[in-house]
Amino acid sequence: MTSAQEQTLGFQTEVKQLLHLMINSLYSNREIFLRELISNSADACDKLRYQALESDALYEGDPELRVEIEFDQEAKTVTVRDNGIGMNREDVIANLGTIARSGTAEFLKQMSGEQQKDARLIGQFGVGFYSGFIVADEVVVRTRQAGTSQEHGVEWRSKGEGEFTIVDIERAAHGTEIVLHLKEDALEFADEHRLKGLVRKYSDHIEVPVRMPTVQEGEDETDVTVTWETVNEAQALWVRPKSEVSDDEYKAFYKHVAHDFSDPLTWSHNKVEGKLEYTSLLYVPSRAPFDLYQREGARGLKLYVQRVFIIDDAEQFLPLYLRFVKGVVDSNDLSLNVSREILQQDPQVEKMKGALTKRALDMLGKLSKDSDTYQNFWNQFGGVLKEGPAEDHTNREKIGGLLRFASTHTDSSAQNQSLADYISRMKEGQQGIYYIIADSFNAARHSPHLEIFRKKGIEVLLLSDRIDEWLMTHFTEFDGKSLIDITRGDLDLGDIDSEEEKQAQQESAKAKEGLAERFREALGDQVQEVRVTHRLTESPACVVLPENEMGYQMRRLMEAAGQPVPEVKPILEFNPDHALVSRLEGSEGDAFTDLAHVLFDQAVIAEGGQLDDPAAYVRRLNAMLTH
């Protein structure tokens, strides 16, 4: 042993809380510890295989990568070891003393104290190593990074009570060995049949062989033969024919790939042959990871070339709006020694990206035929899918068919109406798909702009997500129908309005030209124009944006982000049949000016806007109420 100092260090506060949760909340899922540790060991073997492409000296004369599991009933231990890449002292402190991924605080915020819910959460946060503490009251890790000398071994030891000890050791073998000192109520795992059953249940699909010793005693007590038996199939699941892979195997492989405790919603396994040869296995998770909206969050597919692991999170094979899709792509046509930059410029990658994107969208299309399951998907990932039309012009129509919206058809905040559903309910003579964007569902549902649509029974999509205006800027047509914002420009209901109604609107506008001019003069440069409306049936006035101006929602988002926003003057439309407008028409002087401003300010507030001078609005309103 070297004389390097022994260090006792404290866990991060978040890790302490996490260990408490792992140790106390997961008794119903205890057996998953073995799956997590084997999965980590298999990843370490994959990484060594990739690095050894440049220098096979890293194998140190032991190129047969494997995971080994042993148990000792007397010592009450289970040991999981691999001859993978291993870790140095800094790696050990970084990986086992902290949770290296961002978002840990968010994870802890989501913990509820409900065992089942918290157990599901753990899989979203990539903390599989700590699952060892579910069954062990002490965990010992011995490791050495491949390619370093024997005196660079490291031992890490902890009882999961807030601190860990780390010391340099001599270690002949590279790779990592984890020794679990089992709790008294977990001794069931120090059993050959139990461990083999768990390996076959959870890790059959892993390409690295998982081996266990079989001890045979001869007639003489000292005549003991130990043979190592490969317990798992040790064949990459994605290279097997679909007909030979069971649903349970697909689900188990997903949990290995995604480090998720939950089953996937669906998957697609496909082999492409011809000019471009590759195999893909894509999964749609059942719940969103915590870092779905974090730019630095891990995303992408596991990339293999001829079953040699290359990159863990290859982002180049799917567009950003499909970043929730997990899985594997294995190609025969990509150069083995690619760097990320070269990979991005490889024309084969672009072709594969286009094909895999279509494959993923087709998978979602099939999923959408099951409305309940698809609703679960949409609730988790709908906001991300809405990024699609702006990012992927080629597949805009296909993405449009997958979008779901709230609508006046149900008047529910649930986003469960497709554009195809909307089109099937369109009125005869209706020109397009109508929608309104607001800061909240209630603001959209109660907007004055909906009044004429409700009166005529015309459905309107109610959009209130932060991304919705960005979406609609890039998504202007679906199935030959234009998408029309009811708060912009002139409202033309086309053939839905009868000739008599159109004639009446023209006559009303002409009759109120004088009032409109007085109204505009009273408001001065606050408005671009004042005109009679036929949008309103109950409200006195509403504000309308010019056709090509940035919407209110986008303006507020940009202002909040500190971005300069060009000034826009809205158009004020008033309802000539409303009592307040009649009162306005009969007013003169200051009374007219005050009421004109009150009506304009109310229209801005109803739109979710902010007043430049709220105190003036209150003063005018109070003066009107006291007269």
Binding residues for ATP: 36, 40, 82, 87, 95, 102-103, 124-129, 176, 340
The CA-atom distances, in angstroms, between 193 and each of 133, 203, 214, 329 are 22, 15, 11, 34
Structural element, H or E, at residue 78: strand 77-82
* β-sheet with 461-463: strand ranges across: 412-417, 405-407, 461-463, 432-437, 481-485, 477-478
Residue pointed to by tokens 């009868």? 498
Q: Three-class SS string for 159-210?
A: CCCCEEEEEEECCCCCEEEEEEEECHHHHHHCCHHHHHHHHHHHCCCCCCCE
**Given the DSSP bridges, would you call strands 326-331 and 301-305 parallel, antiparallel or unpaired?**
parallel
Radius of gyration in angstroms for the set of CA atoms belonging to the chain, rounded to a whole number: 32
From 138, 137, 130, select the one nearest 155 (Cα to Cα). Answer: 138
Tokens of 447: 């907007």
- Residue 6 is given by DSSP the state P
Contacts 24+ apart (CB under 8 A), 246-253: 249/204, 249/205, 250/281, 252/201, 252/202, 252/203, 252/204, 252/205, 253/205, 253/281
Quote the distance between the C-alpha of residue 58 and its chain's center: 37
Beta bridge partners of 108: none
Is the separation of the CB atoms in 167 and 154 below 8 Å?
yes
Tokens of 428: 């005869």
Provide the annotated binding site.
Answer: 36, 40, 82, 87, 95, 102-103, 124-129, 176, 340
- Provide the terminal-to-terminal Cα distance of the chain, rounded to the nearest Å: 94
Q: What is the dihedral angle through the alpha carbons of 252, 253, 254, 259, rounded to the nearest 10 degrees?
A: 90
The CA-atom distances, in angstroms, between 121 and each of 28, 113, 118, 160, 172 are 15, 11, 5, 20, 38
HSE-up (13 A, CA, CB side) for residue 437:
22
